[in-house]
Structures are given as structure tokens and as C-alpha cells.
Structure 1
Amino acid sequence: MSSLNTHDRYDYAPVADRAQAPWPDGKKLAVYVAVGIEDYHFGDGHVENLLDGVPAPDLVNASWRDYGNRVGAFRLLRRLETFGIAPTILLNTAVYDSAPELVALARRLGSEIVGHGVSNSDSLAGLGEAEERAYLDEVADRIEREEGARPTGWSSPWLTHTESTLDLLAEAGYRYVMDLRLDDQPVWLNTRNAPLLAMPYGLELNDSTSMIGRGVAPSEFADMIIDEFDELLAAAREEGQPLVMSIIVHSFISGVPFRLKQLTRALEHIAAYSDDVWLTQPRRIYEAVTHGHID
């Protein structure tokens, strides 16, 4: 499907050539906040660590991650509620078993549940097509049992793909993938069967890649969010195009008090522009796209 120096998953379309209808209610910029709520195997598979080189049994990093589902996520979700933001949950389905009270709160707050694997110790990399298809179905089936409907969106653990992932997602009934940021608008991806939408996913407006991966300070991360928002809102107003902004946070990172305070500062800034901003979820953006707001 791919050559050595390119791929055929999406077509080139310059931003200058686009003119579409605004978002619902005349809003200029759609903003969604995705919260990673994750489960990790102790001592096995992929992990996110704060301190490297801790010998086994590594209770230090495990407890750092566990803080998120015990404390951080509850405060983070309640904080979003104060701004009228219905969360988008990137959910490892193992959390249904390890922290059921947390998922119950997310459900009461009207969260969208996005498939994010069974555990964040997993990876799609290296899976054969049949094995990967079964894994994607396992996640969707568990969410359907718990929530009453299959998930519309998918975000891969560790953002990993195989050559078949996008095709299999579409065939499994997922309608959009939240792993890519090739544009400030949703973009239709080429698959071998059903349509699949790439929902803008800001890899850098992500507390994991920025604050843990690159050592960005919480105040700097808040400034990044504010600067991104100001520029995208200005572009949406000037260019007359419906744009999308994402903010990606994790329960054990932005749910920590000193980071939550700075995230709150950024959300206060965004909330001040409610006339032009659509605080929404990816499923609502998908619905708007399929109803003609973006070709």
C-alpha cells in the first residue's frame, strides 16, 4: 500500500482553498479535551515512568501512575465540569475492572468513551491482522457491554499502528481515529473499505509528550494551550473555516495538583470566548462533518 518515501492514506488539500459552513450555532472553533484514563500491568509490558532505572519491583513509578485513577482523574473530571466541558475519555477497558467508580463518574458527566486498548501496557505494533482485528473488536465489545453502544472513536495505546490498523478500524465500525494531527480540520483517510476520519489530535498539546517527555513546565504547558487557542480562533475568524483544537491530558499527570492549577488557568482563558467556541466532543464533531460542515 505504501512506497518507501510516501503513503496514500490521505490526499493533499491546502488550507487556503477551503470554505465551509461554521460549526453548529455559528461557532468558529471546536475545542475538545481528551482525558487518558489508563491501566498498566505491574512489571510487564509498556509503561510510562517518571523516574528511569528503578529496579524491580518498581512500586515508585507504579504508584505515580496509580495516583491518577485513585485521585487525579476525579479532580480533573470535576474541574472540567465547572467549565461545562463534557470529557472525552481515552479508556483502557481494563479500568472497568480496576477502577469502576471512576468510569461511573465519567458516565454520569456525559463523557464520550473512546477505545484506547485493553491496557496501556499493550501495543498494536507487531500484531498480525487477525490478532489485531480481534483486539479492536474486544475493546469495542467491552465498551458496548458497559455503555450500551460501541465506541465511535479510537486512539491507539502509544499511538502505534500496523500497516492494517486504519483499514481494520474502519471495518470494525470505528468512525474516526484520534492519533494524527495532519491538519486543523478533520480529514478523511483512505482505507480499503469504509470511510475513516482523522480527528485532529495535538501531539504536542499533550501533557505526556510535553511535560513528561520533554520536561515542559506546567506553566509553559498552560501557555502553549493559550497560544494555540488564540491563534486557531483568530484563523477560524479570519479564514471563515471551522477548525478543531484538542487538549490531551492524563489522570496521573494533569490530575496532580500543581499541574491541575495551570491547566485550569488555560481553561479559564478559553471559557472567556464562549460566543465563538464550541466546547464539544469528537463524536459531535464527526456528526457535524457528516452533516456538511466540512467536505
Structure 2
Amino acid sequence: MQADPNLYDDWPYMNRPKIVWPGQKKLAFWIAPNIEYYEFMPPVNPKRPGWPKPSPDVVGYSQRDWGNRVGHQRLMELLDRYDLRGSISLNVAMCQHCPEIIEACVARKWEFFSHGIYNTRYSYEMTEAQERAVLEDSIATVLAATGQRIRGYLAPALTHTERTLDLIAEYDFWYTCDLFQDDQPQPIKTKTGKLMSMPYSLEVNDVITYGALAMSAERYADVLIRHFDQLLEEGAESGTVMCIPLHAYLVSQSHRIKAFERALAHITSHKDEVWFTTAVEIAGHYREHCWDQTLADIAGRGLATGGTGFA
């Protein structure tokens, strides 16, 4: 495998064509609640264990189950108070395991995108037929449960094969959340289709902040506010995107939810400058209004390179 997978062109951040979001807004803001299911005894994958501890991990399972039993309701009620819709990063098996959560999101007109079937079923070692089956099941299951044709994809547990992006483009997905290279959308090199990278985040993802970095709730709120303020400032030059990826078993804990609300109050106080939206709406606007100008700018600077995916 070459050192650079050549999934997207080098494209310096400065002096790009200006992105203007609907209503002349500077920043497109979206929230991605991850609604996930972790199997108690997942099948063994040779590249990665299903749980950090040896299975069965009763503690890990029950903590995540608390998110589905209690945390999501608490988070949905908070987002309702600030008139924010979620874009659900969905383990699609949740449509069968917890249909009441799916119904509550549908009632709120939230978006759904695929996060695989289970978060304990990794893409590593999948055959092409198996990966296609996951995509086809995701499309059909979510359509049947919600009436939505999903347009976004986040690989389960951020695991991939060398063909993942080409396949989701082939199945007419509009955006991937699996790349973290930019604060604006960007076309992805795929063999077919029209796939863009959607700014997601590891830096303000609560799994990272509460897990790997062990932040306090107040510190996490401060980080979100600083993150937002910087992107809003830069959005005056060309529209930026901010996403907050969330997991109810973390952010919705009783001792954390009020600090998170403080960050939301700050962010939503900028209604004149911010487009509060969903990922699919951002993708639709970008495809219609920004896609061609981006490719022309990259080509005009002599930055375009050949090939797609992992060569």
C-alpha cells in the first residue's frame, strides 16, 4: 500500500472559493447522537476484540444499555429545548432492538445515517459480498423503519476495508463521516458516484473527551465553546462546519448533562450567524452549490491527482 491512500486531493485551507450557507450563515452546525447496540457476546474478529475486557463484559454492556434505556430520552429532551434536530449515527439493528427510540426520533424529524449493523461487527476481514450486504441491509432496514433513504455512512467502530468508500459511493451515499482531514466538506475520490467527506470530529467527540482524555464535564463544555467560536470566526471568510458527535451513555449522565447544556446555550445564541441543520441538508447544499467550484479550484491550482482509493 502506498504511503498516501489518495482518497482526496491536497487542497490548502486558505483562498478557497467561498462557501455561503443558506441565509448567508457562516457556520453549519449539526449534532450526531450515536444510537448504538453493542452485542453482549459478539462474534470474534481476528483483528480486534469486541470489548476492551474479555467477553462477557457485563460492565461495558450495561453502561451502554443505560444509554439506550435512559440517556437517549434525556438527550432528546435537551435538544428539544433548543430546537435542535439530530442526525443519528445508527447501528441499524436498533430498529429491531429498540424501536421506541427510532420512533421518537422520527417524530422529531431527525435524520438517520448508517453506522453499520452493530458496533461490535467490524469491517475488518469482510469480503466484498459481506460489505455489500451490510450496506443493502442498512438502506432497506432504515427505509422500512423510518421512511428515510439514508445518505450518510460512518463505518462501524470506525473500521474499514480498502473498498468501503468506493462501495458507499456506488450505493449512492452522499457523504462519509470517516475522514477527519478538514473543517469544510470536500469531494472524495471514488470509482463512481459523488461522495463528499462530512466534517465530523474526534476532537469534540464525547468518547474521546470523556474516555481517552478523561475531561470533566465543565472542561468539555469549555472545549465545545472554544471550538465553536474559532470555526464561527473563520466562517466569516468561507463557511465552516461544526459537528458534535455524542453518545448518550456518556454525555447524558446526570453529572454531565447540565454542563453540556451550557455549551448548547452559547452555540444557539448565535442564530443570526449559524445554520442549525442536519448532515444530509449540508450534503445536499454542498453537492448543488459547491461541488463544481471545488473541483474547478483544485484543478486550477494544479492539485488534482489521479487514482481513487487505496492504490
TM-score bracket, normalised by the shorter chain, equals over 0.9
The match for 2:300 is none
Could you tell me the TM-score, scaled by structure 2's length? 0.88
Q: After TM superposition, give the deviation of residue 57 of structure 1 in Å.
A: 4.5
Superposed CA offset, 1:177-233 (max 9, x none):
112221111010001111211000111110012211221222111111111000010
Q: 1:17 to 1:56 in 2, by over 3 A?
A: closer
The match for 1:35 is 33
- Find out whether 1:281 has 2:278 as its counterpart: yes
Once the two structures are aligned, what percentage of the paired residues are identical?
35
Alignment length (residue pairs): 287
Contact 2:95 2:142 in 1 (8 A): no
Q: 1:203 to 1:57 in 2, by over 3 A?
A: closer
The match for 2:306 is none
Match of 2:8 among 10, 13, 18: 10
The match for 1:19 is 17
The match for 2:297 is none
Superposed CA offset, 1:4-55 (max 9, x none):
x112110011111213241001110011000001111113255566xxx5x7
One-letter code aligned to 2:103: A
Superposed CA offset, 1:155-179 (max 9, x none):
1111111100000001122111112
The runs of at least 4 aligned residues of structure 1 exceeding 4 Å deviation read: 45-49
Give the whole-Å Cα distance in 2 for the aligned partners of 1:196 and 1:56. 37
The match for 2:73 is 74
The match for 2:93 is 94
- Find out whether 1:253 has 2:258 as its counterpart: no
Q: 1:189 to 1:57 in 2, by over 3 A?
A: closer
The match for 1:163 is 162
RMSD of aligned alpha carbons: 1.6
Q: 1:276 to 1:293 in 2, by over 3 A?
A: farther
Contact 1:242 1:293 in 2 (8 A): no
The match for 2:225 is 226
The match for 1:44 is 42
SS of corresponding position for 1:182: coil
Contact 1:93 1:118 in 2 (8 A): yes
Contact 2:25 2:273 in 1 (8 A): yes
Alignment of 1:81-230 (within 5 A): 81-230=80-229
SS of corresponding position for 2:113: strand
Structure 1 unaligned regions, length at least 5: none
One-letter code aligned to 1:233: L
Could you tell me the TM-score, scaled by structure 1's length? 0.93
Give the whole-Å Cα distance in 2 for the aligned partners of 1:59 and 1:21. 48
Q: 1:266 to 1:219 in 2, by over 3 A?
A: same
Give the whole-Å Cα distance in 2 for the aligned partners of 1:48 and 1:254. 20
Q: After TM superposition, give the deviation of residue 293 of structure 1 in Å.
A: 4.2
Give the whole-Å Cα distance in 1 for the aligned partners of 2:256 and 2:50. 21
Q: 1:168 to 1:269 in 2, by over 3 A?
A: same
Give the whole-Å Cα distance in 2 for the aligned partners of 1:285 and 1:279. 10
Give the whole-Å Cα distance in 2 for the aligned partners of 1:264 and 1:275. 20
SS of corresponding position for 1:253: helix
Superposed CA offset, 1:221-276 (max 9, x none):
11111110000101112x2x011011010121112121211111110110111110
